[in-house]
Structure 1
Amino acid sequence: MLTAILLALGTYLAIAGGLWAAQERLIFLPDQRPLAAAGPFALGRLRTPDGLDLAFLHAPPRAPAAPVILYFQGNGGQAADRAGALTPVVARGAGVVIAGYRGYGGNPGAPSEAGLRRDAAAHLAWLRARHPGAPVVLWGESLGGALATQLAREDPAGVVALVLDSPFTSIAKLAQAHYPWLPVRALLRHAFESEAALAALRLPVLILHADGDAVVPAAHGRRMLAVAQAAGAPAEALFLPGGAHPAVLNGGPAPMAAALRFLDRVAPAR
């Protein structure tokens, strides 16, 4: 009996240790091919506060007073993968910046929560310098939703709205559902807490989520909607029957149509 207990304990500790050691490979799934211009998007470069030169994509607004959308992708692929989906936003006259993360798209550095938050802040600073006074909409996809929400709380000047595509409340809560028998919160080095940040905001928020999402269950999106509404934010949502993760890339035309209607109301391209 004691041998069986020790064997089970050893197995448990080995799995927990493996999760702790491998979490960066589980959380961050970058396409490291060098980023290139795509569609209406030109290649841009900026320097982060910790000295990394990052490539990203951007398309200018049609008019100086038009809004600029700062888009944060999810944990997989690279910025160019989102260019096609975001072209309708550019066609409406808004500017769009698709952030380039460290360790993604040929960029230097290794991704981490702290690093990606620095990257997000650097992109917002670049946007403000390039388009002074432009209304800013932060749009986050999955993990990028955590970056967008945290950035809106920490540096809200000029930010007029949030779009959250397939958001999770936190990495810890998402991972705990997959590994209910592990002390996930104690093991994680990357929190990506979205719920607490959203609770502090009063911005207009649009949440897009597919009920068929097998990566981030739609319950997370519904919880985020409830949090925003409880905070007094003008929040709305589209929950798609079926669909997949993330909503805009894999949910057909309805999510982008909802996003464009939302942008026309909260940040029209004049």
Structure 2
Amino acid sequence: MPSAGPFFMRMRRVIAETLGAVAGGYLLLTGGMAVFQRDFIYHPATEPPPPPAEIGLPEMVPVTMITGDGYVITGWYAPAQNPRAATVVLFHGNAGTLAHRARKARAFLDAGFGMFLAEYRGYGGNPGKPSEEGLYADARAVMTWLSNAGIPSAKVVVYGESLGSGVAVQMAAEAERLAALVLEAPFTSLPDLAPPYLLPGSARLLMVDRYDNAAKIGPLEMPLLIIHGEQDGLVPAAMGRALFAAATAAEKELSIHPEAAHNDVWDLGGGEAALDFLARRLVK
């Protein structure tokens, strides 16, 4: 009877080589994601937007700010018609530009609010490349500009949309006081959105930009509204619910829209929820 030894030795070698190839491929994949992670996170439209008047916002004018790290950033602003009304600052998601949020700005302006459409470095003709700390610096420049224009943070509503929810939560954490915080399709943290094929815990080790909303939202005291679509396939509604549960604000509301996904939640009830929430608290 022939010996089975050589057969098992060959099998062990094949298995070892296969496992080595799989491990090498996985390391190559995760290494590529680590190196190019910001290309996966940020999808800016880099061309300058059209003038505000051309997209239905004749009240808004471009304004420029200098960030703490020296970038000149342009956003759009319109004052409230009623000097006692709050100003909504909108930090948009990871794609497009501020111009793609014109319908939202139009709704807030028509409701009597002032409006600031914030823009980020690397987006809409602005210089630089986006990053978590970079977007925070851009947002701080907006908040400083408003303060210098005579609009204190207590008269500011910070609205964060998707990726912008991370910027909004950070600004809320830094502000002495805000009129309100509104989060549309927010996530708990970017590592929590990592692909399921990554080993548990590896995303937190690999990702540089984290926007850890879950770690920051608890102590925030301003009125809070969280809007989410139940059909959201990009940021699960469970994350909105988790943030709502973690929040300790005395005034907080969760608005879940059964038919809405990620990009249409504003149109399928989220916009009405935001305007109603703010009107009940801020419009006199």
TM-score above 0.5, yes or no = yes
Residue 10 (structure 2) aligns with: none
Residue 20 (structure 2) aligns with: 6
Shift of 1:196: 1.4
Within the alignment, does 1:236 sit opposite 2:221 as a pair? no
Within the alignment, does 1:82 sit opposite 2:101 as a pair? yes
Could you state the TM-score of these two structures normalised by the residue count of structure 2? 0.88
Within the alignment, does 1:170 sit opposite 2:189 as a pair? yes
1:168-212 Cα offsets, whole Å, 9 max, x none, are 01001111x544436111110101011111111121111110011
Residue 29 (structure 1) aligns with: 43
Report the identity percentage.
Answer: 37
Within the alignment, does 1:44 sit opposite 2:58 as a pair? no
Alpha-carbon distance in 2 for matches of 1:141, 1:232: 20
Residue 282 (structure 2) aligns with: 267
Alpha-carbon distance in 1 for matches of 2:143, 2:197: 35
> Aligned partner of 2:19: which letter?
I
Alpha-carbon distance in 1 for matches of 2:198, 2:259: 25
Shift of 1:60: 1.3
1:244-268 Cα offsets, whole Å, 9 max, x none, are 214544x43x211111111112221
Q: Which has the higher contact order (CA 8 A, sep 6+)?
A: 1
Could you state the TM-score of these two structures normalised by the residue count of structure 1? 0.93
Give the RMSD, CA atoms, in angstroms. Answer: 1.5
Alpha-carbon distance in 2 for matches of 1:17, 1:2: 22
Q: Decide which structure has the larger Cα Rg and report it.
A: 2
Residue 31 (structure 2) aligns with: 17
> Aligned partner of 1:257: which letter?
E
Give the alignment partner of residue 169 of structure 2, picking from 122, 135, 149: 149
Residue 104 (structure 1) aligns with: 123
Give the total of aligned pairs.
263
SS, match of residue 179 in structure 2: strand
SS, match of residue 182 in structure 2: strand
Within the alignment, does 1:93 sit opposite 2:112 as a pair? yes
Shift of 1:232: 4.1
Shift of 1:47: 1.0
Within the alignment, does 1:72 sit opposite 2:91 as a pair? yes
> Aligned partner of 2:174: which letter?
E
| TM-aligned CA distance change 1:101 to 1:266, over 3 Å | same
Within the alignment, does 1:140 sit opposite 2:160 as a pair? yes
Deviates more, 1:128-137 or 1:108-117: 128-137
Alpha-carbon distance in 2 for matches of 1:216, 1:156: 29
Alpha-carbon distance in 1 for matches of 2:119, 2:249: 32
Deviates more, 1:85-94 or 1:19-28: 85-94
Alpha-carbon distance in 1 for matches of 2:233, 2:150: 38
Within the alignment, does 1:123 sit opposite 2:142 as a pair? yes
**Structure 2 residue runs without a partner (length 5+):** 1-14
SS, match of residue 19 in structure 1: helix
Verify the 8 A CA contact 1:201 1:233 in the aligned structure 2: no
**Structure 1 residue runs without a partner (length 5+):** none
Alpha-carbon distance in 1 for matches of 2:265, 2:118: 17
Alpha-carbon distance in 2 for matches of 1:150, 1:215: 21
Shift of 1:127: 1.2
SS, match of residue 80 in structure 1: helix
Alpha-carbon distance in 2 for matches of 1:132, 1:68: 8
